[in-house]
Structure 1
Amino acid sequence: MNNAPQPHHHLSSDEIDLFELFHAIWKRKKWLIGCTLFAGLLGVGYAYLAPQVYQVSSVLRPAAINELDALNRSEVYKLPPVDALAKVGARLESYEARLSFFRANPALFEAFQRPGQSLEQSFEAFNKNAINLTFPDPKNVDALNGAIRLEMQYPKGVDGVAILNGFVDYAIKLEREQVSADLKVIVNNRLNEIKGKIDAARANYETDKQSKIARLLEADKLKRAQLEDELSAVRLQMKVERSNRLVELAEAISIAKSIGIKSPTTPSALGAAASRGSSQVMRTEVNNQKIPLYFMGTDVLEAERTALEQRTNDDFTDGRVAEIRKELRMLDVNREVEVLKSRSKEDIFLRDVEPLWAEEARLRGLDIDMSGLKLVTIDRMAQTPLSPIKPFKAIIIGLSLVAGLMLGALIALIGHFVQARRENGPFPMPDRHLPHPQKHTH
C-alpha cells in the first residue's frame, strides 16, 4: 500500500505577516517617533494658542407667591409666579431686548464690534450663539417648579459675568416696567369705564328730573285751568241765583203790598189779628210748612232787594269760592319743583352708583410699589469661571499624538513596501520549486 505524500502549505509572497510588519515599522522607529512628536507639538501649539472660550450660566426660578400678592390682590392684574417667569423668559429671548441692552452698554461689547461693521451687524455676531435659554418642559408634571437656565459663551477679554447678570437685570427691569404700564392702562381703562357709567347715570337722572318737573308743572297747569273754570262756573251760578232772588223778591213785594203786609208775620198771626182787633197777644207757633216769602213784609223784602241790587260781588256768598282761591294760591309755587331745581349735590340722588363710586375710590387708591416688584427669583447668578471650556487641551493633545503615531506608522509601512518591491522586482513570480502532489495508482 502506497502512502500519498501530504502537501506542505507555504505562505505565498502576497500574504502579510503581522510580526514582520511590526518589525518593519520598528526598524523605522525614527519616523514613528518623529511624526508623533511633530503632531504632538502641533497639538500642543493649537491647544495653547487657540482662542479660549469661557462659559457662565444663571438660573431663574418662579418668585414666591407673597412677592406678587399685592399685585394679584388688586383684582386688576393677575400674574401667577409661573406666568411672571414665562414673561421674563420671553423678554430674555426677545431680539429687541437684547439689541437695546447691546446699545445701552457699548463698553461691555467692544470685543464684538468690528471695524467697518454697523451696530446691528456687530450685535448679530454677539447674538448668534452667545446666549442660550433652556425652558422647563411643559409636559413635565414638575414644570410649575421648573426654572429657566441661561448660558453664555464668550472669548477671553470679554466680561461675560457682567454681560449675563446685567442682561438678566435689564430684562427683569423691562418686564417690570411693562407690567407697570399694563397695570396703569388697565386701571385707567376701568376708571374711564366707571366714569362712563356714572356719566350715564347722571344723564338718566337729569332726564328723569326734567321729566318729573315737566309732569309736575303740567299737572299744576291743568289743575289751575280746572279751578279757574270751576270758579267761573260758581260765579255764574251765584249771579243767576241773585237774579232769580231779585225776581222772587219783586213778586213777594207785590203780593205783600196787595194784602197789606208791611212787617214780617205768619198766617196764623195774620188771621188772629183780623178777628180780635188790636189786642196785644204773644203767640208761639210751631209749623213744619214753609211760609211764603211775602209774609216777610214789604219793608224787609224791599230792603233785601235793594241790597241785592247794590251788590257787586257774590264771592262771599259761597264757601267754595274761597276754597278755589286757596287752591289757586297754592298752585302759584310748586315746592317740589322748586326743591328739584335747587339741588346742589345731585350725585347723591343717582341710583345704583354706590358700587361704582366704591370701585373708583379703590382703583384711585391703589398704591403698588412696582419698583420693588419681584417677578422672578435669581436662583444662581453668573460667576467668574475658573477655566475655559474651549479648547479641550488634553483631548487635542491626545488626538494629535494618536494622529502623529498613525502617520509615522503609515510612513514606515510605505517605506517597507517600497524597499521590498525594489528587492523582489516589480512583478514577483510564484515559487516553481514547490512540490506538486503525485498521482498513485493502486
Structure 2
Amino acid sequence: MDKPLSGKTILLGISGGIAAYKAATLCSRLISLGASVRVIMTEGATRFITPLTLQTLSRHPVATDVFDERDASIVQHIDWADAADLVVVAPATANILSKLANGLADDMLSTTLLAATAPVLVAPAMNVHMWEHPAVVENVNKLAARGVTFVEPGTGQLACGYVGKGRLAEPDEIAGAVVAMLAGPRPLAGRSVLITAGGTVERIDPVRYISNDSSGKMGFALAEAARASGADVTLICGRTDSAAPSGVKAIKVNSAVEMYEAVMERLPQTDVVIKAAAVADYRPKETADHKIKKSAETISLELIRNPDILQSIGEWKSGNKGSNGLFVVGFAAETTDVERHAVDKLNRKKCDLMIANDVSREGAGFGSDTNIVSVYDTRGLVENMPQMSKREVANRIMELIAQRLPMKGSGV
C-alpha cells in the first residue's frame, strides 16, 4: 500500500465546531497514508467529539490543556511544534482563525500554533454569513499573505440550516492537500515567476496624482499561489492596499515608467510573466515641483502615453531568441464586450493566456476579495470561472500555466 506520508509528523488541531466529528476520519486517513499524527483539541472541540476517540485513532495522548504537562523533561507545546512537519487545523472556526491571525495564545492549540515553524494548512468551517464577514475575510487574507495554505470550505447544507459556503472540506480532500504539500509535485519548482500587482501612481505635483482603484489583491493571490507551487517569485508592486506576501521578492515602484523598467530589466532571468497590475495608460507631461495652488476656475492637464508594458514584453519575447520560451499572461479588466476585447488584446500583445473579467460586475471589481474570470488562449476560450475567492482563481491560473509551460530550455 502506498504511504506517501511515511516518516512525516503531522500536528492535527481540532477547534470547536460541529464539523469536529470529521476530524476522526481525517486522522485515520492521514495515519493510513503513513503519517504519525499528534492531536490537539480546544475545549470547544471536546464538546463535539471526545479526546479518547482521537487518542485511540492516533495511538498518542491528545493535548487539550497547556498547563497539563505530563513529561517534566519537555514543554509539550514547544516539543510538539518543533516535531511537526506540517500543522493542520481542521475544522478551523472563526475564533481560531482570529487567534492565529492576530497572534493570540490562550489555549493549547493557539499557543502551539504560535510556536510552530512548520507549514500550516487550514480547513475552515462555519456558517456562510460568518465566512463572508469582513473580519473573517480579513483574517483569512492576512494568514494567506503569511504563507498559510487553505482548503476552502465547500458549499451545501450547513448544520445551522443554511445552504451556502462554509461546510468543512471532505477528509479525503484535506488529506490530498496534505500529501500535495509534503510529498506531491511542485509544478513550478525551479521556475522564475515575475508578477506585477496594484495600481501605478502618476504624479501631478508632490501631493496629487493620477491612479486607479486597483488594490493589488489579485496580484498578491497569484504570488502566493506561485510560491506554493515552488516558484521563485518576484513581485513588482505599485500602489496596493496591503503589504506584499511573505516568501517572495517584493520590489516597490510608483509610476508606470518605473514598473516598465523593473519588468524589462528582469525578463532575461524569467520563465513566466503575469501582468496583473493596473497600469495607467497616460501620465502628466509635466510634474510640478511644488504644490499647484488654486487660482483660475479651470486648469488644463496635458497627458502623454505611458509605455505599454505588456506589449513590450510580447515584442521582447518575439524578437529575442534568448527568451527561452517565456510564458506571458495578461489581464484584461473590461466593462463591455469582454471576450472580444480579451481575445484582441491576447493576439496584439502576443500573450499565451489572457485572464479577462468584467469589473462592473458585483464580486469581480477592483478591491473585491472575489473574482469572476474567463481565461483565453490563442484558440479561444479555455475556461469560465464562476465567482470564487481570488486565492482560488490564482490557484487555478497556476494550474493552467503549469500545464502549458514549455520544458525548461526547450525554447518553444
Task: Report the TM-score when normalising by structure 1.
Answer: 0.17
Work out which of the two has the higher radius of gyration on C-alpha atoms and give 1 or 2.
1
- Normalised by the length of structure 2, the TM-score is 0.18
Greater percentage in strand: 2
Return the structure number with greater helix share. Answer: 1
Structure possessing the higher relative contact order (Cα contacts under 8 Å, 6 or more residues apart): 1
